Amino acid sequence: MADEKKMVGDVYFPAPEVIANAHIKDYEKVHAEALADLPGFWGKIATENFEWYQPWETVLDESNAPFYKWFVGAKVNIIHNALDRHMRTAVRNKAALLFEGEKGDTRVYTYQQLNYEVSKFASVLRSLGVQKGDRVTIYMGRIPELMIAMLACAKIGAMHSVVYGGFSTEALHGRIEDSASKVLVTADGAWLRGSIVPLKQIANEALERAGTIQSVVTVKRTGQEVEMVSGRDHWYHDLMALPIADPKAPTEVMDAEDPLYILYTSGTTGKPKAILHTHGGYMVGTATTLKWVFDIKADDIWWCAADPGWVTGHSYIVYAPLILGATSFMYEGAPTHPYPDRWWSMVAKYGITILYTAPTAIRGLMRFGESWPNRHDLSSLRLLGSVGEPINPEAWKWYHRVIGKEKCPIMDTWWQTETGHFMITPLPCVPLKPGSGTRGFPGVDLDVVDEDGEPVAANEEGFLVIKNPWPGMLRTILGDPDRYVQQYWTRFQEQGWYLPGDSAKKDEDGYIWVIGRIDDVIKVSGYRLGTAEIESALVSHEAVAEAACIGVPDELKGNIIKAYCILRQGFEGSEKLEMALRDHVGHEMGPIAKPATIDFVDSLPKTRSGKIMRRVLKAQALGQELGDLSTLAD
């Protein structure tokens, strides 16, 4: 078997032909060069692979750290590199996007066609009063118009704020309100598992609570009757048919450090925060990481199966593939609809060469057995990828053997909404160990350290830290720079290190094994949720006085949510109430945030200052030692 030849112990060595064909053939050399001269390394890449309206004065400005700046003084627009420049080359006629809806409808957009739609929608947004620096909220399913809307915002210098289509009323309302968006782009609905997710209806409810939105643009996708508010609401197809929808709309000239988008993500406490990314560094970082890690070539068909509503989709469905002039595939619906071989049938149908997905999806499809993938010709695949949570070696091996037929290296990429692009990741030339993201992307200096910042011994758990800046890094939290400093740069302030909030181990070979979050973030099926938001959804129900949530390990989903509720006087815990509360969270936050179980309790463990000690709840739920209880109130 091919596998046995390539494996030594538990290490998978890349086949010589994989290395020979890869963009980067010697990781050690490139990494050492990058570390020796970081600005020189990124400056060279930025010069050789991208077009700038005006070059930079400084590659990296560290004078106001941790408010780092990249490509300072340069003028650029990410859209110039993702679309405009391709209009002058043969890429113009190439497929940018292959799309398949859940019901089987298909569409193809060449680069020329995509640019045409984006330009028209950009001028539609301008005509609705959207200007450079404004925020536009986008709330849609996985359809090409989602991508078009995002790109149109970037083209005119407005920040998009995409809210995942699986979120619901309150989650959407909170994000609209915080961003003070003027315009909402949505769809009547989205197809999922054969049913309609009523996006416009949810948006209407959210808008009853939010005041900043002046116009709503709705894409007709599912076709059911929806309520349109006159003066505020427009159909996408109506606006796109007007003369104002100008296919020659100019691309706004931006500073490299001007904001590109915000994306809300959950952190340690309180409300989700608006992570801010910029045009220049993010463009260079996302495109370079995709090119090197997934070895993108002109004839690849790249499928990032994430949702564009999360950072994985932003970086690796929307921006990086277009900048590289690659062909992407996008699928609207559920992997198991109508049967558990939907994904595999599409791999064969479109000749997908690279598939990038999450461990939870792999485990979910693994459940149905090998016969489903084995029915299809998967021989077009040459590389596989994983993201979102640690991949358990069992799922890794199944993915490698059953899907990759033992010839596709698996790129396990660790990164975050905040980092913008891959940070810990193999390249195709790097030997793999199932369950480890291997080492830092060239130029990323990282370590695993203890409380004092000292490196821990091999295979001991510690804090993951990143020691130097990278081009796609978040620049701030919109509207809350103090929280940016506090959250990421205070724990190891003296050393000037970035704290991702994950714990990890490093083995004898320097390979990193990410363990999980050290804060109140729960990863459910790879989706990042904050306990605070779920708790506040619970407390917004009339029966609940106080709530606490924790994540407990789950074989399929990685983690599931366990909630504890103290009820208000006059309410009693029952199965019926548990159901009602779960539905309430589903309505406010979205189905993914529904607690798997709810315990009704009389008190919650708290510190003397009143902070809920979720750590104690978690230890209790898992039957572990309760640890240091000295700060517990009683």
Question: Which residues contribute to the site for ligand WTA (CB under 6 A)?
Answer: 265, 310-312, 386-390, 412-417, 437, 500-502, 514, 516-517, 523, 528
Q: Are 82 and 151 in contact (CB under 8 A)?
A: yes
135-139/183-187 β-pairing? parallel
CB of 84 to ligand WTA, least distance (A): 28
Report in angstroms how near the CB of residue 442 gets to ligand WTA at its nearest: 17
Nearer to ligand WTA, 364 or 500 (CB): 500
Least distance to ligand WTA, CB of residue 390, Å: 4
Q: How far is the CB of 476 from ligand WTA (least distance, A)?
A: 16
Q: Are 260 and 313 in contact (CB under 8 A)?
A: no
Return the closest-CA partner of residue 167 out of 197, 211, 187, 143: 197
CB of 280 to ligand WTA, least distance (A): 21
Q: Which two tokens stand for residue 461?
A: 């758990």
Which residue lies nearer to ligand WTA by CB, 82 or 395? 395
With respect to ligand WTA, which residue has the nearer C-beta, 265 or 353?
Answer: 265
Nearer to ligand WTA, 258 or 412 (CB): 412
| Residue 210 to residue 507: CA distance in whole angstroms | 50
How far is the C-alpha of 282 from the C-alpha of 292, rounded, in Å?
Answer: 15
How distant, in Å, are the alpha carbons of 24, 147, 265, 390, 412 from that of 431? 13, 35, 33, 18, 12
Sign of the Cα pseudo-torsion (456, 459, 464, 469, in order): positive
The residue nearest ligand WTA at its CB is 417
Considering the complex, state which of residue 373 and residue 385 has its C-beta at the smaller distance from ligand WTA: 385
The CA distance from 89 to 85, in Å, is 8
Smallest gap, in angstroms, from Cβ of residue 441 to ligand WTA?
12
Minimum CB–partner distance for residue 249 and ligand WTA (Å): 32
Nearer to ligand WTA, 271 or 523 (CB): 523
- The rounded distance, in Å, linking the Cα atoms of 239 and 385 is 39
Token duo for residue 470:
């990278």
- Residue 241's CB is within 10 A of a number of other CB atoms, namely 11
**By C-beta, is 259 or 530 nearer to ligand WTA?**
530
Token reading at 173: 């309302």
Nearest to 516 by CA among 442, 414, 429: 414
- Judged by beta carbon, residue 174 or residue 388, the one nearer ligand WTA is 388
What sign does the CA torsion over 117, 118, 124, 128 have?
Answer: positive
* Beta carbon of residue 412, minimum distance to ligand WTA (angstroms, whole number): 5
C-beta closer to ligand WTA: residue 191 or 511: 511
- Give min distance, CB of 415 to ligand WTA, in A: 5
Q: Closest CB to ligand WTA among 189 and 501? A: 501
Of 250 and 516, which CB lies nearer to ligand WTA in the complex structure?
A: 516
Instruction: Please state the closest distance from residue 575 (CB atom) to ligand WTA, in A.
Output: 33
Minimum distance of ligand WTA from residue 515's CB (angstroms): 8
Region for residue 212 given its phi and psi (left: phi exceeds 0; alpha: psi -120 to 50; beta: otherwise): alpha
**150, 83 Cβ separation under 8 angstroms:** no
**Which is nearer to ligand WTA, 191 or 415 (by Cβ)?**
415
CB 449 within 8 A of CB 462: yes
- CB-based burial, 377-408: b 16+ in 10 Å, e otherwise: ebeebbbbbbbbbbbbeebbbbbbebbbebbb
- Residues 45 and 475: their CA atoms lie apart, in Å, by 21
Residue reference for tokens 């989903």: 557
Chain mean position to CA 86:
26
**Chain length of the chain:** 634
Residue 180 Cβ vs ligand WTA, minimum distance, rounded to whole Å: 23
Q: Is 520 helix (H, G, I), strand (E, B) or coil?
A: coil
Among residues 144 and 437, whose Cβ is nearest to ligand WTA?
Answer: 437
CB of 311 to ligand WTA, least distance (A): 5
Give the Cβ contact number of residue 539 at 10 Å. Answer: 16
**Least distance from C-beta 88 to ligand WTA, angstroms?**
33
Place of tokens 């991508």: 147
Residue 424's SS3 state is strand
Q: Rounded distance, CA 150 to CA 165, Å?
A: 14
Residue 608 burial class via C-beta count within 10 angstroms: exposed 0-12, middle 13-18, buried 19 and up: exposed
Q: Cα separation of 18 and 353, whole Å?
A: 14
Amino acid at 117: E
Residue 333 or 501 having the CB closest to ligand WTA: 501
Choose between 288 and 413: whose C-beta lies nearer to ligand WTA: 413
For the CB of residue 425, give the shortest distance to ligand WTA in the complex, in Å: 8
CA distance 327 to 554: 35
